[in-house]
Amino acid sequence: MESKDNSPRPALRALRGDEVEVAYGIYLQACEWLKRKGVRQWMVPKPRATFDARQRRGENYGLFLGHNLVAIVTLSFEVHAHWREKLGANKRWWLHTLAVAPDSRGRRLGEETVLAAVSLLGSRGASELLLDCGADGVLPEYYGKLGFEALEKKGIAYPSGNTFLIVLMRRNIEK
């Protein structure tokens, strides 16, 4: 579908296997960009095997403009180990690994990706979408503008030995 000016409209869909390499490259570039900006998120990139496992589970999605992959996101239905005591043992929808291709930044495509994910999950009957991110910095405000509310903050220790203050956020999905 195209917009009024004949440019392609963004479309979110599950990634095909042959698109994972490009998606992982977008993620790695986002990791470097975040480091340069001083954002303490994704300081150690996830290995490619993590993306491959997500692909096998059908969790990798991409936002496309025409045939161009411009943003990626992971949507998983899981019990998140760090928040089990807060949320219980029931599986819930989680947003992970939102990243925009470097040549597409500044066009609000990250926001477009999140809103498309919310719409997709709503069409599948989901009532909420959760995420967690560094509590310090710009990310909680960014997600707050997209309808997420902070539920709780806590220090989480990572395999690197570092502990970071992380915020759990939720967005209700209207049906």
CATH number of the domain that residue 103 is part of: 3.40.630.30
Task: Determine the structural domain holding residue 116 and report its residue range.
Answer: 10-127
pLDDT at res. 14: 98
Instruction: Flag whether 39 is in a domain.
Output: yes
Instruction: Flag whether 162 is in a domain.
Output: no
Instruction: Flag whether 132 is in a domain.
Output: no
CA-CA distance, 78 to 175, in Å (whole number)? 21
Instruction: Flag whether 54 is in a domain.
Output: yes
Whether pTM exceeds 0.85:
yes
Contact between 80 and 41 (Cβ < 8 Å) = no
Instruction: Flag whether 50 is in a domain.
Output: yes
pLDDT at res. 3: 47
**For helices 20-37 and 48-56, what crossing angle results, to 10°?**
130
SS3 105: coil
Q: Is 160 left (phi over 0), alpha (psi -120 to 50) or beta?
A: alpha
Instruction: Flag whether 157 is in a domain.
Output: no
pLDDT at res. 161: 78
Q: How many structural domains compose the chain?
A: 1
| pLDDT by residue, tens only, the chain of 175 residues | 444 556 788 999 999 999 999 999 999 999 999 888 877 777 789 999 999 999 999 999 999 999 999 999 999 999 999 999 999 999 999 999 999 999 999 899 999 999 999 999 999 999 999 999 989 888 999 999 999 999 999 999 877 778 889 999 999 998 6
